Structure 1
Amino acid sequence: MAHLPAIISSEGYVEGVNEPEQMICQYLHSTNSMGCSWFGCDVSAFSLPLLMLQLSIIFFVSHTFFFILKPLRQSILSCQLIGCIVFIWFVRLDKNLLNQLFPESGKLVLDTVANFGFLLHVFIVGVQIDTNILKSVQRHMVLMGCMSFFVPYIVCCLCLMPLNNMVTIDDFSSNTLPFVAALTSLTTFPAVTNTLLDLNLLNCDLGRLSCSTALVTDVCSYVTILALSTIGVALERSDWKPMENILWIACFLLTICYVLRPFVLWMARRIPEGQQIKESQFLVVLVALLLCGFLSECLGQNASFGGFTMGICVPDGPPFGSALVNRIDWMATTILVPAKFAICAFKVNLKSLVGDKVLASLITEGVISIAYLAKFTCNFLLAMYFNVSLQDAFHFAMIMCTKGIIDVSAYSLIRSSHAVTEQAYSLLILNMLIVTGSTRLLLGHFYDPSTRYRTYKRNSILECESDDYLRMLVCIHNEEDVPSIINLLEASNPTKHQRIEVISMNLQQLQGRASAILVPSSHVEKIPSAQTRMLQIIKAYNYFIERKKGSVVVEHLIAMAPYGSMHEDIITIAINKCANIIIVPFHKRWAIDGTIEATFPGIRTVNYKIMEKAPCSIGILVDRGQIGGPKSVLTGRTKMFRITQLFLGGADDREALAYSSRMAQHPHISLLLVLLKPQYMDMELTPDLYEKKLDAEMIDRFRVECKGRDIFIQQQVAKDAVEIVQLLRAMEKGCDLFIVGREHGYSGSQLTYGISEWSECPELGGIGDLLTTSDFQFSVLVVQQQPVDTVDFAGEKFAFGK
């Protein structure tokens, strides 16, 4: 160690293919430092410790900028690129610091690791793509996808034709402008899905249109660029045959599709239901990925091309695709992909935009601006032509202009091959950050998909006609929800005169996929991970339908979406099916001994957003075993199923009472209605006479509809929240299901004020939250009637669903 040389590496320039290239000479054994810092050597002069230092710095810089820019709705990938550009610009101010942290001898290792991380990332992107989406792409989406690439590219080429006669620029800058136009015209599918996923727009109508169109544009642009680049290289090197190379690429793709993909699908089918992927299967896929990347390099393509193609062969979703995503994505995206952005940031030179090259920079910026403008205008007009609303068409055009890591990699690859100039590359990166960043910011703050939920008619149980179907949309997150849901349907008293239409939504969190899914049960073969589960659910429903003999109609749907936007599918179906009430399970599950067995925060998020935006009534079902267990309504026991309804007044309590009145007509149900009033009225609270009238009418209607049934009505008076708790505890022994409204009228607000202050689950309301504590053992149904907004327009008042 004491005889280590002072100079570890040297650098200089040699003749290259296109221009002089930099060559690094380095000692053979400069990999591990082996503690040479104790002898006065610089540890960062060795490749391994330098690589670890660089990855650590890049990680902290990128996540610092993500924390800073997160309020501006910027993605982690954009923040990583911005952070690396700013950090590299800062480091370049001190040449000693630049040579210490990012010497030329260390860039090759960092670039190799970055490209390997990018290979893993695009493989994961390919795994998440559902190939079945191509089957659902309609003709107008194909037209929009093709025009989204060709129109801006052709417009830019037409603008470049008279350019040489107007201004004088060097040949190299002039030859790069068509490449700039083509790169700007790109729209990559991963960039669009990443934007939609971060903004929780993946499974709304705008998101589905954007995903399908972007996929067509991605395929169209890649085929065009592949053909142009192959022909361009062939013309440059006369000894290389373009048709032969394209033929080998086609053979490579056919081998992957018809040999490798069936083999991967065979491995996926061998995984037992509910089991995870084996280590041997994971290693086989990983080695196949490396081989595909190697063969892709041999065919003159980037290794990421083989990785992406291999990813498409892997079935998306659980258990195979999601397992690969969970194992690889965190390392690739969090640790290695930022290194790719650091390499791209080194190629950004802001000084090249000024000085002698300012004219070329202005012309390049003009081409980029024209391409973005033509792309936006084309997508906007096409969306309007195909009957997309004005607002959605505007936002669709913005989304189609977004870029992502695939675009950045394409820019870097074209720059490395010297197909574009330094200032063109810098302008492409800067414009991408500006356009994508502003699009995400505007969409995040101004686009609200819930505006389409406004309806002129509010649907509820209270307003359901007696001779019409009661339309119930029930949500199922796992198999444990099925017995309680079916028993609640039985308690709803479906008969030939009061029939029920059930829309059952089998909900699954989006895992290992890039696009959301909403299909009827007849398409379950497209989702292998849901087949067994869906068949079991349908079998349980069929048994219930046979018992009811034509009084129940059930429709099954499968929805896979992120928890952040899962409510979009639920509300959309509720609108299309004119549902009167949505039944959702509570996010906590109880064990046999009464303790909380599991908690699902994602389900709670879904329930929150449904209660906020649904255009119909909502019921949160808290099942402790009485609904779906041995005490259920379907057991045919001799004892009655006991239901208690607490009525304090208000719209939610009236809706709950309307539901209870249907249940009270069931021959095996006994219902107790408790009318609770405050002992003393607060003089500061002004009673709403209209609300009091509606409450009285609802109670009278209940008496008439349930006359002759097994019902009991009690008048109770409470002074404060303490007496309410005592009253509820007294009801526990004679109750299987407790029904209560989420919010209450003016009198209820006075009594429940103290309870609401300590509420852990505000979505249940004060009393509903109290009933879910360990002090009570019965099941609970919390009902909310969606309020109505009244809008004054031209002197007339119109009512809209919230």
Structure 2
Amino acid sequence: MPPLPAIVSSEGYVPGVNEPEQMICQYLHLTNSMGCSWFGCDVSAFSVPLLMIQLSVIFFVSQSFFYLLKPLRQSILSCQLIGSFVFICLVRLDDHILNQLFPESGKLVLHTVANFGFMLHVFVVGVQIDSSILKSVHRHVVLMGCMSFLVPYAVCVMCLMPLPNLIELDEVTFHTIPFVVALTSMTTFPAVTSTLSDLNLLNSDLGRLSCSTALVTDFCSWITALAMTTIGVALERREWKPLKNVLLIVCFLIWMCYVLRPFVLWIAKRIPEGQDIKETQFLVVIVAVLLCGFLSECLGQNASFGGFVMGLCVPDGPPFGSAIVNRVDWVATSILVPAKFAICAFKVNLKSLGGDEVFGALVTEGFITLAYLAKFTSNFVLAMYFSVPLQDAFHFSMIMCTKGIIDVSAFSLIRSNEVVTDQAYSLLILNMLLVTGSSRLLLWHFYDPSTRYQTYKRNSILECEPGDFFRMVVCIHNEDNVPSVINLLEASNPTIHQRIEVVTMNLHPLEGRASAILLPISQVEKIPSAQNRVLQMGKAFYYFMERNRNSVMVEHLVAMAPYGSMHEDVITIAINKCANIVIVPFHKRWAIDGSIEATFPGIRSVNLKIMEKAPCSIGILLDRGQIGGPNSVLTRRGKVFRITQLFLGGADDREALAYSTRMAQRHLISLLLVVLKTNLTDAEMAPEAHEKRMDREVIDRFRMECRGKDVYIQEEVAKDAVETVHLLRQMEKGCDLFIVGRDHGYVYSQLTYGLSEWSQCPELGRIGDLLATSDFKFSVLVVQQQPMERVESGRVSSSHHVNDLLQH
């Protein structure tokens, strides 16, 4: 091996167009080290090993800061920027470490890789955006989105015009401020969706309003920036040739919309249902991203612009969009994008904020603060004008002031083009971190969407009068839930005199999308990935409604949201429909032999949040085949469907008995009511005398309404949990569906004491959790009545105002 040169690179300054420019000279063969470390060579002098160590260090630093700042609810992107900034500041204290890790000769490769990763990240962002939102937003939302950018920009420009006559301001700062104000005034859609997703607000009313407004603001700011840049270049050079570039960009967009997008949709339609995309289809899309980035560079735009437009051409959601996102996002966002933040952190120069330039820094900071205040105020006033509640308007204005990676990239790009100074760039980054970080922390701490879940009165089955509609909201996660839900509705005894109004919610986890979806089945063509499955399930409920004409009304909705906030849609619909009960499927699925076939933790988290915050009663349905299988109430053909109700006492058991009373009215249903009593004396039960009286009233009402029906009442006495379990074993034979309340009150705690020690699913209660084990073979329905703390009299609900604003 030839001896290595003593100097691997050199740098210096040469005359440039406007000012001296830095030039770096190095040997061309210094790419791979080829094991030269064994000969005493510095491996970091070679570009490939240097890039590897740079990416590794940046990754560990960004992830460390993410875990440190996670309690403050900071996003991964903000933590990457903060971590890179702090790390660069520490490295700059030692010139040796700085030159070893980030020598000038290695920055070009790092820049190239970082920009490539950023283009892929922006492509993923484009894939996740549902561009059809722009077609359906209300004109009020369009006005709010446009004013969110134009008002702060106009206010700052009007304040800037007379400024030279009032104070002595240097020309560089004066020409920099308009661009600084424009960057501060814009709101990017990915930044807003990232904030909402991290705080589990994506499918709340506030989240939907923010997403729609941010998309309009993003579109408006991009059009304005393109126009200002083109006109500015034309005026500076006193020629209008740059306007030809605008025409070429428009032609490029038209070609993407009417040629490339139909081609990508054609590829997506060729994927068989239930299968993943092929490698060739994935490679075609990636090559198209590279070509679009190349064309974007040729048109004078950043390569990320072409990647973003290409992302908009790819259909969002599964199977095509989600597969693209899953394959590309983790590499781009976790490995390559942090390098982009490290480069942006390198450009922050805190020394430019002091010394002789401190006055210019104060003026620039004043205009940045003014832009944020004007943006917040304009959003707040417009939201209040369009009847958004005060609290929601305040939080909406905070969300619209948050920024993300697209904003940071814009800051860096405009600094690289020397449109703004180091001073202005540093202030933009620091203000972005302060405003976005504080906004996320305040939103997490103060905004609680569950406050609107409180209702005027208790919504329960017991409160439902005989002549009223029995309103139900049922949740469906997959096709296996459909038969059991339909048969449970059939068992609920829909008649002309006891009509049932049902809202079925087909719930899907959010995959490959940035914004949540809540649509009626009539608009299911907007989500092609789920169209076939949704239509098939919708047909099943349509046939059920036709079979029970004049006694059942069914409305079918499709919701796509993250599991962390999926309960928002269910609770919102339950409030709007004044539901008496929400039926949710259990998160476990049983096989034919009775063993647990599959477990879905995401569904369990949804059920827990619904039970915690629901504005009505809740029913968790564990189907082991008796409800939706061959022995169901609809397929027995003359045989009796056997239901057992265990009644210990308490609000939940009373609610369960009210539901059983409705079922007992139906023919071919046999109901056994087992009233389990304790051997406590009346003196010991004195604190619960009121509850005991209510229990007796409900049982007497049951006797009266079910007189002449196939109903049996059996009274049992137990002294402890052992006798309770023994009684449950005796009930297993001759039972298809077992109904029980979740909780049973303090008096009956001794009858279930000790059952919770081996509890696996506390949301089912002590009895329900025991029945969910593999020892029992019947299906189970666990009922919980709406807690009284969810009822608040005299309170005005505010969610309808936001809903009205979003509807068109």
Q: Is the 8 A contact 1:348 1:425 kept in 2?
A: yes
Match of 2:206 in 1: 206
Please give the alpha-carbon distance, in whole angstroms, between the structure 2 residues aligned to 1:163 and 1:20: 32
What is the aligned partner in structure 1 of residue 44 from structure 2? 44
For residues 502 and 389 of structure 1, the distance between their equivalents in structure 2, rounded to whole angstroms, comes to 30
Whole-angstrom distance in 1 between the partners of 2:301 and 2:426: 24
Which amino acid in structure 1 is aligned with residue 643 of structure 2? Answer: I
Q: Deviations over 1:672-707 (max 9, x none)?
A: 111112234698775322111111100000000111
Partner of 2:658: 658
When residues 350 and 633 of structure 1 are mapped into structure 2, their CA distance, relative to the original with a 3 A threshold, is same
Separation of aligned partners in 2, 1:745 and 1:232: 74
Aligned to 2:215: 215
AA aligned opposite 2:736: D
In the alignment, what sits opposite 2:451? Answer: 451
Q: Does the aligned pair in 2 maintain the 1:127–1:316 contact within 8 Å?
A: yes
| Pairing 1:524-543 to 2, within 5 Å after superposition | 524-543=524-543
- The separation in 1 between residues aligned to 2:748 and 2:529, in whole angstroms, is 47
Q: After superposition, give the CA deviation of every residue in 1:111-130 in whole Å (9 maximum; x if it has no partner).
A: 10000000000000000010
Secondary structure, in 3 states, of the residue corresponding to 1:739?
A: strand
Q: Aligned partner of 2:223: which letter?
A: V
Change (3 A) 1:18 1:642: farther
Q: Which residue of 1 aligns with 2:95?
A: 95
Greater CA deviation, 372-381 or 782-791? 782-791
Give the structure 1 partner of residue 801 of structure 2.
Answer: none
Q: Which residue of 2 aligns with 1:622?
A: 622
Aligned residue number for residue 6 of structure 2: 6
Distance 1:17 1:222 in 2: 29
Cα distance, 1:238 vs structure 2: 5.1
Match of 2:312 in 1: 312
Q: Which amino acid aligns with 1:274?
A: G
> What is the letter of the counterpart of residue 212 of structure 1?
S
Asked whether the equivalents of residues 458 and 800 of structure 1 are also in contact (C-alpha less than 8 Å), the reply is no
Pairwise CA distance, 1:551: 1.4
For residues 216 and 682 of structure 1, the distance between their equivalents in structure 2, rounded to whole angstroms, comes to: 67
- Tell me, in whole angstroms, the C-alpha distance in 2 between the residues paired with 1:719 and 1:361: 78
Note if contact 1:685-1:746 (Cα within 8 Å) is conserved in structure 2: no
Deviation at 1:459, TM superposition (A): 1.2
Quote the Cα distance in structure 1 between the aligned partners of 2:171 and 2:509: 53
Aligned to 1:523: 523
Which SS does the other structure have where 2:156 is aligned? Answer: helix
Residues 455 and 790 in structure 2, CA contact (< 8 A), matched pair in contact too: no
What TM-score, normalized by structure 1, do the two folds share? 0.98
- Give the conservation status (yes or no) of the 8 Å contact 2:292–2:303: yes
Which residue of structure 2 aligns with residue 241 of structure 1?
A: 241
Tell me the distance in 2 between the aligned counterparts of 1:461 and 1:615: 13
- Structure-2 residue corresponding to 1:466: 466
Shift of 1:480: 0.4
Unaligned runs of 5+ in 1: none
Q: How far apart are the structure 2 equivalents of 1:558 and 1:371?
A: 40
* 1:404-423 mapped onto 2 (5 Å cutoff): 404-423=404-423
CA distance in 2, matches of 1:561, 1:602: 11
Q: Secondary structure at the match of 1:621?
A: strand
Contact 1:790 1:799 in 2 (8 A): no
Q: Distance in 2 between matches of 1:430 and 1:543?
A: 60
Deviation at 1:440, TM superposition (A): 0.4
1:19 positional shift: 2.3
Give the drift of 1:320: 0.8
Q: How many angstroms apart in 1 are the aligned matches of 2:528 and 2:63?
A: 37
Write the distance in 2 (CA, Å) between the matches of 1:63 and 1:81. 11
Contact persistence 2:719–2:750 (CA under 8 A):
no
What is the aligned-residue RMSD (CA, Å)? Answer: 1.6
Corresponding residue for residue 59 of structure 2:
59
Output the CA distance in 1 between the equivalents of 2:140 and 2:541. 38
Q: Give matches, 1:321-470, under 5 Å.
A: 321-470=321-470
Matching of residue 772 in structure 1 with residue 734 in structure 2: no
Q: Is the 8 A contact 2:643 2:737 kept in 1?
A: yes
Q: How much has 1:15 moved relative to structure 2?
A: 2.5
Q: In 1, Cα distance between the equivalents of 2:324 and 2:360?
A: 46
Residue equivalent to 1:174: 174
Contact 1:679 1:718 in 2 (8 A): yes
The equivalent residue for 2:704 is: 704
1:559 match: secondary structure: strand
Q: Does the CA-based 8 Å contact 1:652-1:744 persist in structure 2?
A: yes
How high is the TM-score relative to the length of structure 2?
0.97
The residue type equivalent to 1:257 in the other structure is C
- How far apart are residue 26 of structure 1 and its match? 1.2
Aligned amino acid, residue 33 of structure 1: S
Residue in structure 1 matched with residue 186 of structure 2 by the alignment = 186
Which residue of the partner structure matches residue 298 of structure 1? 298
Q: Which residue of 2 aligns with 1:125?
A: 125
Q: What is the distance in 1 between the residues matched to 2:572 and 2:307? A: 37
Letter of the 1:652 counterpart:
D
Structure 2 distance, partners of 1:483, 1:535, is 15
Counterpart contact for 2:123–2:309, Cα < 8 Å: yes
Per the TM alignment, residue 224 of structure 1 is displaced from its structure 2 partner at its CA by: 0.5
- The equivalent of 2:599 in structure 1 is 599
SS at 2:487 equivalent: helix
Q: What count of residue pairs does the alignment treat as equivalent?
A: 797
Alignment of 1:711-750 (within 5 A): 711-750=711-750
Letter in 2 for 1:88: I
Residue identity matched to 1:563:
Y
Task: Look up the match of 1:675.
Answer: 675
Superposition deviation, residue 757 in structure 1: 3.0
Q: Identify the residue that residue 578 of structure 1 maps to in structure 2.
A: 578
Q: Measured at CA, do residues 664 and 325 of structure 1 come closer, stay the same or move farther in structure 2, by a change above 3 Å?
A: same
- Cα gap change, 1:667 to 1:323, in 2 (>3 Å): same
TM-superposition CA deviations, 1:609-651 (whole Å, max 9, x none): 1101111001000001010001100013333111111111111
Q: Distance in 2 between matches of 1:732 and 1:204?
A: 43
Q: Deviations over 1:420-467 (max 9, x none)?
A: 110110110010011000110010011011111111122111111101
Q: Take 1:747 and 1:162, find their aligned partners in 2: how far apart are those partners?
A: 78
User: Aligned-pair distance for 1:746?
Assistant: 2.0
Counterpart residue number, 2:763: 763
- 19-28 vs 94-103, which moves further: 19-28
